[in-house]
Amino acid sequence: MSVLTHAESEWLARKPLIEDLYMFRRQTMDQVRDHLCGLGFHVNTRMVKTRLLKWNLHKKLSLSEVRTALELLGPHRASWPCESPEFRIRRKVVGLEDIVRSCRRRGITDPFQWIQTTPVTDTPSAEVELLTGLTPEESESEAAGPSQSFCPSASGSLGLPRVKDDSRERGFAGQSKPQAGRVSEGLAMERVRDPEVYRLGAQAIQHLRSFCLRYIASDNAKAHKEPPVHQFTSHARLQDLMSEGLFYFERNAMNRAFTSFRKGFLVLEEILDDVHPMAIALYLMLLCTLAAKKANVVAGKLLEQAVELASTRTNVPTSLVDALRVIHRSEEFLSIPLLCLKAAGECMETAGDSQWKNFYVQERYCDALYHVGFNGEGSLKRMKLLEAQEVAYGESARNVLVTSLNVAEGFLMQCQWDNAECRFNRVLRQAEELSGFHRAKLRVVALSGLSRLSTARALRWSEQQSVPAAHNRGSEFARRQMRLATGYVREALSLAVVWFEGSTRRTEVLRELQAEVQATSYRLGCPAECV
């Protein structure tokens, strides 16, 4: 197969995916090459290696990074944040054992004695952070929290550790970023290599494929027409209730969380009355989301109830019951459902059944990738899905605008702010062609996205200054961005209060975002913009 020369812009568009594959999924350069070629981007291993070196994504730790990490930690175990401290180096979580192993390869038997007796010959690395005060699970997930980052002083000597501002680690509308799923991502996908988990995963995928193929060949497939509004279907109501439960679960409001979860469990019976791959795709996506949010107990109970209900109904195919039973037995509620969801999408796509069904399953797979933290691959797939939907429905269709908002969120997560701003503003313009609740919902999401975008720009500006943010009170740029952020969230909240009622989670999320915008304005020295 011929290898083409690709433009810089083509490489940059695929950088998040390459970073996901190489840094976080720990694939080799050859595996990254094969993955890219499978997506139609034909390259060879040498080209991949060149890009990794150019982007500073190579796995080998430099001597400067090793020294900086050891300096941050200190030689006295009593001062360490935990027994097995970890660092974030070039966005990758690295354990102390990896630092020690790197020293031994260089012939350094006592790392702490080495940094005390060897003079500094190079500039300390600014890409090393000490993860502090985290449990092993939290540190692996890169959960938002205090971390220390090395900050070199003007003289080049070791400076004081600074507390990293976690406001950029906040997700959309004030929720934790799905990037925290990198956790689960690294460890859960690693678990698939366990022989027993691998065997169970293969069984689950085989059963689910059988279920999808049987459905495609059935009369039910021909009878299922696309619903005018997806949010009124039983599986969409399940998603809404589980999302509401997760919202309160993350905020330790357990009574409200489990009230929503219980209501969601009851909706399972309605789904099984007329079960099909679209509903199961959403169900699998929910399992991935629950696992990524550390709600494994809820995911297990949801699976257990689904297996019990499905096994007693004659209309539910045995292949689906077997697939759910195998996933439940594996106790792996992230990687196996994600792989099953991917297999379901492949079945619906290759079988050439109804186009809307294929779109729906692909959307749920993109949602799962987003919640788990595979943002590079998820963004690329979402862009392809959007292009296909625009051809099928037109650019102003409501479901196309929803996908466009998701694409904008992906750009925002990857700090492609100009692209994100363009998408959000485009949705605002196109939403004017709609009316009522649907128009209000699209405008609220787009406005909240623009608010977070303006806040992120102001924070990035403050980080690039040579003096603390609190002393930069005269910056017109920061004032302008925070003025925009305040206006956007205020307009979004006023719409939400009218259309969503004051007690819904959407309104609560916007109130949290408004509070964050206000706090950021004060932190950047422009509190007048909060009024």
Query: Rounded to a whole number, what is the distance in angstroms from the first to the last CA of the chain?
Result: 61
Supply the DSSP symbol for 86: E
User: Residue 280 pLDDT more than 90?
Assistant: yes
Supply the DSSP symbol for 93: E
Q: What is the pLDDT of residue 169?
A: 35
Report angle CA 427, 433, 438 to the nearest 5 degrees. 70
Q: What is the pLDDT of residue 101?
A: 75
Distance CA 156, CA 229 (A): 60
Decide which of 477 and 431 is more confident: 431
| Chain segment 31-51, per-residue pLDDT in tens | 888 888 877 788 898 898 888
Distances (CA, A) of 120 to 99, 148, 150, 239, 413: 18, 21, 15, 55, 37
Distance CA 85, CA 139 (A): 9
Decide which of 472 and 372 is more confident: 372
Q: What is the pLDDT of residue 191?
A: 55
CA 438 to chain centre: 25
Amino acid type, 497: V
Q: Residue range 389-403: average pLDDT?
A: 91
| Chain segment 491-521, per-residue pLDDT in tens | 999 999 888 875 678 888 999 999 999 998 8
For residues 371, 375, 381, 382, the Cα torsion angle rounded to the nearest 10 degrees is 70
Structure tokens at 114: 């080495």
Q: What is the pLDDT of residue 317?
A: 92
Which residue is it, tokens 């779109």?
Answer: 359
DSSP string, 343-364: HHHHHHHHTT--HHHHHHHHHH
Amino acid type, 165: D
User: Residue 21 pLDDT more than 90?
Assistant: no
* Helix boundaries (H) for 312-416: 318-330, 335-350, 355-372, 375-393, 398-413
Q: Residue range 247-251: average pLDDT?
A: 88
pTM flag (> 0.85): no
Structure tokens at 124: 């300390």
- Asked if 333 and 296 touch (Cβ cutoff 8 Å), the reply is yes
Q: What is the pLDDT of residue 375?
A: 75
Give the whole-number percent of the chain exceeding pLDDT 90: 24
- Asked if 262 and 284 touch (Cβ cutoff 8 Å), the reply is no
